[in-house]
Structure 1
Amino acid sequence: MPSEIRRIPAIESLPAALRGGVVAIGNFDGVHRGHQSVLQPALDIAARDGVPALVLTFEPHPRQVFRPDVPVFRLTPAHMKARLLEALGFEAVVEHPFTRAFAGLEPQDFVKTVLVDGLGISHVVTGFDFHYGRNRGGTPATLAEAGRANGFGVTLVEAFSDEGGAVVSSSRIRGLLGEGEVAEAAGLLGYRFTVEAEVTGGKKLGRTLGFPTANMALPPQTELRHGIYAVRFRRADGRLHDGVASFGRRPTVDEDGAPLLETFLFDFDGDLYGETCAVSLFGFLRGEVKFDGLDPLVAQMKRDEEEARALLSGVRPLSALDLGIAFKGAAA
């Protein structure tokens, strides 16, 4: 496994040493189990052939280009996606700029410009429904034909379904997170859903109530159900702390405020301001409630802490990815 994945901003920037590799193509938002069913064959073929294993993805998300008025709730921003791909074993991810001009390439030009001249691939792996080029005119059949004509192999992977027979998709996972179903979402991701942001200062009301919190502003397009979660908090140095977090508008004390993630770390006393930290969600405890005063709020927060401690005491990693994201380090 590479010690650190290379993030390459465009196909033109690909180092010569990484040409001739196996490339998995896709947006891969979430790097979920469905994506992993495409990514793993690319790793296997690269290992078999002794060539680099790469991922070709696109920035920004295509929907941000074609529908800028509809915000995209990204499960994994580019830096988090790269970290997951690194954990899987890829050597590099090419984050090629996605523009209307790029989307307008004729399918044959996409093959020549991107795959042949740009990346010099020996093999490409994609999902069975992969389309490319202007008006999505490139199909799996034309890709296979292009591979024969240009001397690269093509592997198409069928859709991956969960144990219940339903296809695993990023949109399905977004929907589950919007309902607070973080445990079910984790089952589809193969790891606990994790957010990352800088810890910022707040009104310090939690500290006066005996529950000091690390406050993090998430992107406004985050479609996570407002409520209380059992979480694991990872600091920049890798140290882990169990905790309970509230995501929402704090209706008891500040119902007009912007949504904020506030995490109370168990058995911790320190300064986190300015640190970029990660929070992994293990369970949804309850929805957001407006209490009639601070005393009932504090009583409920104590019950939330007890429930979160109990839930987190028995958790186990779901996969190697989960082990790296939510379990690496020394728990509090």
Structure 2
Amino acid sequence: MQRLDGGAVLPSYLANGIVALGNFDGFHLGHQAVVARAVAWARAEGRPALVATFDPHPVRHFRPDTPPFRLTTLDQRLELFKKAGADAMIVFNFDGDLAALTAERFITERLERNLRVAGVVTGEDFTFGKGKAGTVRTLASRGPAHGFRAETVSAIELEGETVSSTRIREALRAGDMATATRLLTRPFAIQGFVQHGDKVGRTIGYPTANLDMGNYLRPAYGIYAVTGRLEDGRVLKGAANLGVRPSFDPPKELLEPHFFDFGEDLYGQRIEVALIEYLRPEAKFANMNALITQMDADCQRAHAILGASPP
């Protein structure tokens, strides 16, 4: 599926499409409902189905010192949108120029001129334009004059609460992976390139594939049962430490999955690690033997959770 720049005119074969418009960070149940409505509309009228997102997140532009909070990368969103049936992903680069556009200019220059849309679908709380002056009512009222119709999808509730990225972030920070998974409809996953570490793990029988956390939200530090998806599509099972490794000096924040019954070289490969269940907080151990004993117990528990054969 194509990834296209929202600041340029789309190719003619994608013109007159239906666009789902929003941040879609996490692509949770509520986001999925918006995209599903756009895809259904597009298919019913034989039009292209598009999803438009913003990167970096507007919060990063206006509050650059905000701690990392992203739930997905653009690469992950591309795959998720593709699975949802979209034909292309449009990325609006959220910079000073975009932040300064009035709502009317965003409609005229981005939706009408560049995307040439026939329809727009958003969530009910979507805002746009300088000072968030544009709302779903603005799209509905101004759309016909610019050649498109606008529809709004109501918020989705689960367990009596509205599904939101904020609720998912709270669950992840608390180590509540079950709630995060229900709201996302999949486990929270971190994608990155395997880098060289200090290689201590292999000396104690637990080699790890080290990933930098980048701009991802930091879930609760601790030990997790995980799965890992390799570039070739294979899925591995394992246990991972996410945090600063208090038993080692100097502290360094990493996600360090150890995959069961796996000994191949992964350095430089891009893998995706899904956090299935939180096992325990990080801890500092008195000596290496105590650490290894606990790691043995952690892996046995992860084996049981994931349904893997015990060592």
2:41 and 2:215 mapped to 1: Cα distance?
40
Kindly indicate whether residue 300 of structure 2 is the aligned counterpart of residue 300 of structure 1: no
Partner of 2:184: 189
Give yes or no for the alignment of 1:285 onto 2:279.
yes
8 Å contact kept, 1:71–1:221: no
Structure 1 residue 104 displacement after superposition: 2.1
Equivalent-residue separation in structure 2 for 1:157 and 1:38 (angstroms): 6
Instruction: Indicate which of 174, 178, 181 corresponds to 2:173.
Output: 178
> Equivalent of 2:256, from 259, 262, 267?
262
2:16 is the alignment partner of 1:23 = no
1:136 aligns with 2:103: no
Contact 1:64-1:71 within 8 A present in 2 as well: no
Structure 2 Cα separation of the partners of residues 274 and 222 of structure 1: 23
Does residue 50 of structure 1 match 2:46? yes
Q: Distance in 2 between matches of 1:221 and 1:193?
A: 10
- Number of the residue aligned with 1:318: none
The offset of 1:31, in angstroms, is 0.6
Which secondary structure state, in structure 2, belongs to the residue aligned with residue 296 of structure 1? Answer: helix
State the partner residue of 2:305.
311
Equivalent residue for 1:320? none
2:222 to 212, 224, 227: 227
| CA deviation after TM superposition for structure 1 residue 221, in Å | 5.6
Give the whole-Å Cα distance in 1 for the aligned partners of 2:19 and 2:74: 17
Superposed displacement of residue 220, structure 1 = 6.0
Pick the aligned partner of 1:103 from 99, 104, 108: 99
How much does 1:277 deviate? 0.9
The residue that corresponds to 1:319 in the other structure is none
Indicate whether 1:112 and 2:108 are aligned: yes
% identical aligned pairs: 42
Paired residues in the alignment total 308
Separation in 1, partners of 2:9, 2:118: 18
User: Deviations along 1:82-107, whole A, 9 cap, x unmatched?
Assistant: 11111111111110111222222222
Deviation for aligned residue 1:196: 0.9
- Check the 8 A contact 2:222/2:281 in 1, yes or no: yes
Is the 1:11–1:94 contact (alpha carbons within 8 Å) kept by the matching residues of 2? no
Answer yes or no: is 1:81 the counterpart of 2:77. yes
Please give the residue correspondences for 1:53-72 in structure 2 after superposition, counting only pairs within 5 Å.
53-72=49-68
**Aligned residues of 1:242 and 1:312 also touching (Cα < 8 A):** yes
Q: For residues 53-72 of structure 1, give each alpha carbon's deviation from its aligned partner in whole angstroms, at most 9, with x where no partner exists.
A: 00111121111111112134
Give, in angstroms, the shift of residue 122 of structure 1: 0.8
**Could you tell me which amino acid in structure 1 is paired with residue 11 of structure 2?**
P
Q: Structure 1: which amino acid aligns with 2:102? A: E
TM-score normalised by the chain length of structure 2: 0.95
- Tell me which moved more, 62-71 or 282-291: 62-71
The answer as to whether partners of 2:29 and 2:163 remain within 8 angstroms in 1 is: yes
The 1:220/1:95 distance shift into structure 2, 3 A limit, reads: closer
Distance 1:30 1:11 in 2: 23
Choose from 153, 156, 165 the match for 2:152: 156
Answer whether contact 1:63 1:72 (CA < 8 A) is retained: no
Corresponding position: 1:38 with 2:29: no
Query: Who is 1:203 aligned against?
Result: 198
Q: How many angstroms apart in 1 are the aligned matches of 2:180 and 2:194?
A: 25
Q: SS where residue 278 of structure 2 aligns?
A: strand
Distance 2:68 2:298 in 1: 31
Q: CA deviation at 1:111?
A: 1.2
Equivalent residue for 2:235? 240
Shift of 1:258: 1.8
Residue identity opposite 2:266 in structure 1: L
How many Å apart are 1:139 and its aligned residue?
2.2
Q: Deviations over 1:205-232 (max 9, x none)?
A: 1111111111112116632111000000
| SS in structure 2 at match of 1:284 | strand
Aligned to 2:10: 14
Question: Structure 1 CA distance, aligned partners of 2:59 and 2:68?
Answer: 7
- Provide the residue aligned with 2:246 in structure 1: 251
For residues 167-190 of structure 1, give each alpha carbon's deviation from its aligned partner in whole angstroms, at most 9, with x where no partner exists. 111122112111111221011001
Q: What's the Cα RMSD here?
A: 1.4
Larger mean CA deviation between 54-63 and 99-108 belongs to: 99-108
Structure 1 residue runs without a partner (length 5+): 315-332
Give the secondary-structure state (helix, strand or coil) at the position aligned to 2:227.
strand
